[in-house]
Amino acid sequence: MEEPDLKTLLEQALQYSKEYIDSMPGRMVYPSEEAIWNLDGLDVPLSLEGYPATETLALLHRQGSPATVAQTGGRYFGFVNGGAHPAGLAARWLADTWDQNAALYAMSPVVSKLEAICEKWLVDLFRLPKDSAMGLVSGTSTALICGLVAGRNHLLEKQGWNVSENGLMGAPELNVVISEHAHATVLKALSLIGLGRRKVFKVPCDDQGRMKIEALPEFNSFTLVVAGAGEVNSGSFDDMKAICARANSAGAWVHIDGAFGLWAGASKSTYHLFDGAEQANSWSVDAHKTLNVPYDCGIVLCRNRSSLISSLHASGSYIQWSENRDGMLYTTEMSRRARAVELWAVLRTLGRNGIESLVDQLCARAKLFANLLRDAGFKIMNDVTFNQVLIAGASNDETQRTLEYLQKSGVCWCSGSVWKQQSVIRISICSWMTSERDVILSAEAFIEARTMAQSVKP
């Protein structure tokens, strides 16, 4: 096989990308059944000789592009998936061409420098202690593991137990406190780091999904607490000021699960939701959600740099450490792509005011959505304080049928959930592309879908 001409392929990819962007305003948000069926055209036996790269790329665009979810447009509200800010996407293209391994300074001085800058900027943006450390991972699921491992090891180290040397067999028992509304990834992380699920204390919540402070157990120096900045359905925030004050006085460790909500700390209008979070010990947040950095870019932050490094440290005679930032010290991975490139590009392009405006815009769109649907007779099931809106019809059946027709409409796409034992439609406003017009069109689609649902006889 002849080696493909890289410049030709990149120009071809650029043309296909332009076509995809141009198609965005008129395309269905979720792919049609025909587009999904056509994906079978990609499923062929692996050939002996292979095919020209230009032909492979053409097939991928022809069969693959129509079957994508229009997540980068303005009317995708399913799950909490952000869009792709242009500065981040363009930087990502350049970074993919660089193809840097972000493990060590020796492997990529530029990525090491960009990680150090992003760490400084984020610590300052969230008003965290100056020496707080940052690691870049795939997403909050992994960031949670990093933060909770650091907390587990730190608490046991204070009791004279070195987990790295002794493991967990025979270790002092820790008390784990989480919300009864904690995200599934919190339980998964606890299971993966050996703390299990059975002995976890789940704190009862109020009608918005916030932990009841009066229901918190006593904290001590054996306590690992996970608080939430942005409940996955309602978008509510735990009272982090009260939780952190109590934990700090007892010597407990607090981790803030803030996948999309931690960005509330970047805006004056939403800072009251974040207030107190800076007093925690570790934090997890996604840049690919509220900040709209392209997938994937998860972030772990830790007040105690040495706790994070000692918990994730790997060694080997071949590893070339430096006096600069060696990124693998702050993550579970060694080899990993250069996520700092697009993170740096979006942070630098937006600046403080731009990040604040983005957060405020997402919140404003959520409130507009809620007001339009409330005026149309839908039930709004949560206090819309950030970017999440929960919608219900007159009955569970009506809600579920409305969602079914809405998803088939192609105008917008939302997901379903259960809230207070009731079926709901979950709207997550996360894309910088979502305009007022997008919200109005989507609200009209809701109303039409409900009309169709009501016409169906039980």
Residue in 372, 410, 411, 405 with CA at minimum distance from that of residue 391? 372
- The 10 Å Cβ neighbour count of residue 14 is 11
Q: Distance (Å, rounded) from C-alpha 449 to C-alpha 340?
A: 42
Q: What phi and psi, each to the nearest 5 degrees, are found at residue 456?
A: -85, 125
Mean pLDDT (the chain) is: 96
Q: Distance (Å, rounded) from C-alpha 179 to C-alpha 262?
A: 17
Residue 2 has pLDDT above 70, yes or no: no
What tokens appear for 288 in the block?
């690919």
Q: Distance (Å, rounded) from C-alpha 288 to C-alpha 343?
A: 9
Q: What percent of the chain has pLDDT over 70?
A: 99
Topology, domain 90-347: Aspartate Aminotransferase; domain 2 (3.40.640)
- The 10 Å Cβ neighbour count of residue 457 is 4
Listed by start position, the domains of the chain span 90-347, 356-454
pTM: 0.95
Q: Distance (Å, rounded) from C-alpha 455 to C-alpha 458?
A: 9
pLDDT for the residue 31 = 95
pLDDT for the residue 119 = 98
Looking at residue 71, the DSSP 8-state letter turns out to be T
Q: What percent of the chain has pLDDT over 90?
A: 95
Residue 377 has pLDDT above 80, yes or no: yes
Residue 1 has pLDDT above 70, yes or no: no
Residue in 352, 286, 362 with CA at minimum distance from that of residue 74? 362
Residue 38 has pLDDT above 80, yes or no: yes
Task: Please tell me the chain's helix, strand, coil percentages from 3-state DSSP, rounded to the nearest 5.
Answer: 45, 15, 40
Q: Answer whether 90-347 and 356-454 agree in fold.
A: no
Q: Tell me the mean pLDDT in the region 356-378.
A: 98
Q: Tell me the mean pLDDT in the region 357-364.
A: 98
pLDDT for the residue 285 = 98
- What three-state secondary structure class fits 225? strand
Residue 152 has pLDDT above 60, yes or no: yes
Q: How confident is the model at residue 126 (pLDDT cuts 50, 70, 90)?
A: very high
CB proximity list for 275: less than 8 A, separation 6 or greater:
240, 241
Lowest mean pLDDT among 43-52, 223-232, 298-307, 417-426: 43-52
Q: Model confidence over 162-186: pLDDT tens digits?
A: 999 999 999 999 999 999 999 999 9
Angle subtended by helix axes 184-192 and 140-158, to nearest 10? 50
Which residues in 215-246 are b (16+ Cβ under 10 Å) and which e?
ebeebeebbbbbbbbbbbbbbbbbbbbebbeb
Q: Tell me the mean pLDDT in the region 335-342.
A: 96
Q: Tell me the mean pLDDT in the region 374-395.
A: 98
Q: Tell me the mean pLDDT in the region 35-60.
A: 94
Decide the pairing of beta strands 282-286 and 298-302.
Answer: antiparallel
Q: Distance (Å, rounded) from C-alpha 437 to C-alpha 414?
A: 17
pLDDT for the residue 334 = 93
pLDDT for the residue 317 = 87
Topology, domain 356-454: Aspartate Aminotransferase, domain 1 (3.90.1150)
Site of tokens 């690919």 = 288
